[in-house]
C-alpha cells in the first residue's frame, strides 16, 4: 500500500534521526508513531511488526523495514542519493560509516556515568578533529566540488551535515580548523529541503534531556 513512510520510534533522536534527516533532505514527507511507554514497544513486538524485535522500524513501500543501515540504504537508493555506480556507492558507504562511528559515540553519551562521559567527550573532540573531519575537509579540497561524491548531493553529504551539527552541539567551535567544512555547512544548510528541516516546527528532534533518557531506559530496559 502506497502512502507516506511511517516511522516507529521514541520521540527522541536516537537511531531514527539519520533516517528523518535523509527523508527530509530527499523532500519526502513522512508520518511518525511514537513509542511513549513499554507497552507500545510490546505491542509492536507482539504484532510481529519487528523482524528482530527492535526499532527503528519504517513502513515504506509495503515493507516493514528494520535495521537503521538497511533503511538508510533503501531510502538513499530510492531517491537517487547513492551515487551513479558501484564505485561512487563505495565512497558514499565509506564516508557514511565514518560519520556513523562519530555520531554513535555522541549518541552513547547520555547513557554514561559522569566521569566516563567527561572522558568520552574529550575523546570525541579528538577523534572529530584528528580522525574524521580531516578526511572530509581533504575530500572537498582535493576535488574542489560542492559535494563529497560525484559532484552531486548524496547521502554522504546529508550524513556529514548531521554529524557536524551534532558535534557542534558538543563543542561549538569544532570546525574552527576546517574552512571547507564551514563552507560546506553553509551551503548544505541552504539546500531548500534541508533548510526547511532545520527550521522550528519540522520533524527534527532536539537533543535528549534527562527526562527523555529516563523514559528510553524504561522502555528498552537499559
Whose grid coordinates read 560546506?
A: 184
Of 73, 164, 188, 219, the one binding other proteins by CB under 8 A: 73
87 belongs to the binding site for other proteins (CB under 8 A): yes
CA distances from 26 to 20, 208, 220 (A): 10, 25, 30
Q: Which of 6, 18, 9 shows the shortest CA–CA distance to 219?
A: 9
CA distance 47 to 166: 34
Residues 131-190 that bind other proteins (CB under 8 A): 131-132, 135
- Choose which of 26, 30, 49, 67 interacts with other proteins (CB under 8 A): 67
- Per CB under 8 A, does 74 bind other proteins? yes
Q: Where are the beta strands (DSSP E) in the chain?
A: 6-9, 31-34, 57-60, 63-66
Binding test (CB under 8 A) with other proteins, winner from 33, 39, 42, 97: 97
- At its nearest, how many Å lie between other proteins and the CB of residue 200? 33
Q: In the complex, which residues of this chain contact other proteins (CB under 8 A)? A: 51-53, 61, 63, 65-70, 73-74, 77-78, 86-87, 89-90, 93-94, 97-98, 101, 131-132, 135
Amino acid at each position: 500500500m502506497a502512502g507516506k513512510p511511517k516511522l516507529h520510534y521514541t520521540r527522541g533522536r536516537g537511531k531514527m534521526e539519520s533516517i528523518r534527516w535523509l527523508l527530509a533532505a530527499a523532500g519526502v514527507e513522512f508520518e511518525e508513531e511514537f513509542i511513549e511507554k513499554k507497552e507500545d514497544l510490546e505491542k509492536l513486538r507482539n504484532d510481529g511488526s519487528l523482524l528482530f524485535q527492535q526499532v527503528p522500524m519504517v513502513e515504506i513501500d509495503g515493507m516493514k523495514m528494520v535495521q537503521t543501515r538497511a533503511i538508510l540504504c533503501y531510502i538513499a537508493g530510492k531517491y537517487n542519493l547513492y551515487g551513479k555506480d558501484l564505485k561512487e556507492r563505495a565512497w558514499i558507504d565509506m564516508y557514511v560509516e565514518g560519520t556513523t562511528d562519530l555520531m554513535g559515540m555522541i549518541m552513547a553519551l547520555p547513557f554514561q556515568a559522569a566521569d566516563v562521559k567527561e572522558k568520552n567527550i574529550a575523546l570525541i573532540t579528538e577523534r572529530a578533529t584528528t580522525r574524521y573531519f580531516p578526511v572530509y575537509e581533504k575530500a572537498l579540497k582535493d576535488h574542489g566540488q560542492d559535494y563529497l561524491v560525484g559532484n552531486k548531493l548524496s547521502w554522504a553529504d546529508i550524513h556529514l551535515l548531521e554529524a557536524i551539527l551534532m558535534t557542534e552541539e558538543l563543542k561549538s567551535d569544532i570546525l574552527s580548523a576546517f574552512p571547507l567544512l564551514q563552507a560546506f555547512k553553509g551551503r548544505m544548510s541552504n539546500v531548500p529541503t534541508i533548510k526547511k528541516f532545520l527550521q522550528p516546527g519540522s520533524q527534527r528532534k532536539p537533543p535528549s534531556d534527562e527526562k527523555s533518557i529516563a523514559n528510553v531506559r524504561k522502555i528498552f530496559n537499559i
